[in-house]
Structure 1
């Protein structure tokens, strides 16, 4: 395939995609026009002249497409994945409504408020529906290996391999790694798992050109000389190739990470894993309701375990210990007792047998543990009383240990 044929193919696909995305918006505008004509039965008057509502609807759609473009709703990087695509459409809808109200005010058009107020929501709703259909089509194409953006990954062998694994695990995002430029010697097992051309890092731009890649992804910037990233960005200017940096913090949820520039240095800010606002209320409600249901369903099991602990060894069935909970507040935590009654007093005799450093004391075969306690620890049944703490709001079903 020649570059001319490829360009024609891209333009043809772009026109078809634009028509597919514009059609629902036009349908929404026409529906608003029909609603206006049928329900309100009036015409639009501008400076004493009659203007068909159909013409107004078509102009509104063209304006809507322009507002979408200005809102970045057609950017390639947001199409087909995530929620940013939908958020931009909703923001554009608010802007379109404001523009419509301002236009009516400036032209002094005699138009019913119902038409203006119904046009923007209908066009936005149909646009969202069109994007949903287009996203489903795009997902099916990507599942077949089509409509993918070709990626060349540059970096250390281990960082390149980790990045390739993530790309391969999310093909629905539309990225296909076609080549790797490895800094240093790549182990044989890395080359085998990559299963793609592995090139030296001397000229990554040549690899991008050779593989007709659309993205150059840098995995582990510490492997590059100082200023190399800036030089690559300059070299890629005007080529249409995007430069992507793969961070090393791959085990942190994306919404918690943001870029914060400090004196020209882009820093990654990692927010603490803490829910706020409505999400926190919903999670707390789910935790408490689930805990109450579990307490009711497991009450026979809890009673049987408590009886086994109480009557097979001296001491209470419940072990109480003060722990630090949310916001640094102490609370008394409950567990089924798994050790003898004098476990705390006998601790000094076993200090030399500790198998862990620091404050944690743990012995694989702790002689203080009871027969029932070993069984409870094995299946983590000793922690079942903590469901009561979840019901009272002192703990969460999923979260850090107190």
Structure 2
């Protein structure tokens, strides 16, 4: 039998109803934000064009002309402005930009606003051409260059605010997980780790069995046969259906039918983890939503495009950062007269050893006292890191804080030992302890930065660091490399996990 919520549960429901209303107000918040940004874009473009800041030399074309007088330009903007703003917002809405499911994660939100902007530009251009309406070409270009950028930035800031609120326990969605114990624990662990997703797990509904919780500690609220009734009793916002939920293939459909009149989101979580959306394609066949998984992309990360990117990027960074590197080298040498560079053997692609270069941030005999520190802090596995390490020198404190000690690795990248982005370069001692699964990290060149750095650096556990590296190896893409490099700047400046 299901466990119905007691009366003492009601006060928390009231507070969570406020959160639910706030979540449902997200589309309206995004709408107001987009409306303000689009209006601002149009007004700024009109002002810039009217003050001759936007001049577009060249032969005018029908429908988009810069030969009109100041009066006619003012009139044309007056005619176009309101329909343009409203039409732009309507197109975003029609393309799913205000659907509840696009907020918080994934690229669909950004695709919606950018693609809608391009579609609106096409509609306006074609409309002006067909009606021979005289609209400033400079105004047109300015609006549809600035507009998509502002909309994407606005959605990014809205998402960051949502993530920040969720990490502090606000704006969570009351969630139930339906499935077998193992699958429930796997999904619940992801929600516990990634709190920014905002799924507050109330408990699980599992196949028949008299027990109070799963092995992972998730409370069992009842049987899957009572799913619809318990979802209503606990006033859940989201129901996750995972593996092992139902014995009959039609049971899932019946659950969706039972919850049809309720404001509850039903999400299926197939038994696929750590696979990027770019590798998943859904192809309905004879009423079956089949998931097609592309092969892992570890071999793609070894091709000429990434290597060319590494060579050009490392050469440019060495040229740009050479003053910082020279000044750091001088500070290290001046402090104790020891060597400037610290050379350490690391393991690269396919298990090949290489000498990893870093600015020395510790005392000269740091390796000699390492065993004593291992026993002091109870070191077990992985790369050894400790806060307030007594071996760190005075200049070493600030060069480690801002990852300046890593800059000599640009030479490793240029030589082909490393990549700008990739898994963390492991020590031989670590590799000796690898399982077969963990050894997949060695299929690509190690990186100066990677998911491990932008996700917490030294604050990450050994298991979490391995998981992020394996995700990178299997789901590599050039766009992901660029995003990681951009996020690295923020991670370095914030100094989170740097010690």
**How would you bin the TM-score normalised by the shorter chain?**
0.5 to 0.7
1:38 to 13, 26, 51: 51
Match for residue 201 of structure 1?
Answer: 224
Q: 1:335 to 1:124 in 2, by over 3 A?
A: closer
Distance 1:300 1:62, change over 3 A: closer
Q: Which residue of 1 aligns with 2:285?
A: 262
Please report how far the alpha carbon of residue 20 of structure 1 lies from its aligned counterpart in structure 2 after TM superposition: 2.6
Q: Structure 1 52/203 Cα, relative in aligned 2: closer, same or farther at 3 Å?
A: same
Q: Aligned partners of 1:378, 1:57: CA distance in 2, in Å? A: 66
- Partner of 1:220 in structure 2? 243
Paired residues of 2:73 and 2:136 also in contact (CA < 8 A): no
TM-score, structure 1 as length reference: 0.65
Distance apart, 1:110 and its partner CA: 1.4
1:85 corresponds to: 109
* Structure 1 position 240, deviation (Å): 3.0
Greater Rg, structure 1 or structure 2?
A: 1
Structure 2 match to 1:22: 35
The Cα of 1:72 is off from its aligned counterpart by 1.0
Call closer, same or farther: CA 1:204–1:134 in 2, change over 3 Å.
same
Q: Which TM-score applies when normalising by structure 2?
A: 0.53
Query: Structure 1 stretch 62-71 or stretch 156-165: which is displaced more?
Result: 156-165
Instruction: Verify the 8 A CA contact 1:29 1:122 in the aligned structure 2.
Output: no
Question: 1:376-387 to 2 correspondence within 5 Å?
Answer: none
Aligned-residue offset at 1:218:
0.9
User: For the structure 1 residues 186 and 160, does the alpha-carbon distance in structure 2 shift closer, same or farther, using more than 3 Å as the test?
Assistant: farther
1:362-377 equivalences in 2 (<5 Å): none
1:101: Cα distance to partner?
Answer: 0.5
C-alpha distance in 2 between matches for 1:257 and 1:155: 22
Residue number in structure 1 paired with 2:135: 111
What's the counterpart of residue 5 of structure 2?
none
Aligned to 1:68: 92
Contact 2:76 2:135 in 1 (8 A): no
Summarize the alignment of residues 144-293 of structure 1 with structure 2, pairs less than 5 Å apart.
Answer: 144-185=168-209, 190=214, 193-194=217-218, 196=219, 198-221=221-244, 223-274=246-297, 280-285=303-308
CA 59–220 in structure 1, closer or farther in 2 if over 3 Å, else same: same
Residues 343-362 of structure 1: pairs in structure 2 closer than 5 A: none
For the 8 Å contact 1:191–1:198, the answer to whether it is kept is: no
Shift of 1:244: 1.2
**Unaligned runs of at least 5 residues, structure 1:** 303-324, 326-332, 337-375, 382-394
1:213 CA drift (Å) = 1.6
Residues 334 and 37 (structure 1), Cα distance of their counterparts in 2 relative to 1, 3 Å cut:
closer
The CA RMSD over aligned residues, in Å, is 4.2
Change over 3 Å in CA distance of 1:129–1:72 after alignment to 2: same
Q: 1:290 to 1:88 in 2, by over 3 A?
A: closer
Deviations 1:241-270 (A, max 9, x none): 222111112243443222222222222211
Aligned-partner Cα distance in 1 for 2:293–2:217 = 31
User: Partners of 1:90 and 1:11 in 2: how far apart?
Assistant: 23
Aligned mates of 1:204, 1:272 — CA distance in 2? 36
* Gaps in structure 2 of 5+ consecutive residues: 1-13, 56-65, 319-340, 355-426, 433-442, 447-472, 475-499
Deviates more, 1:181-190 or 1:7-16: 7-16
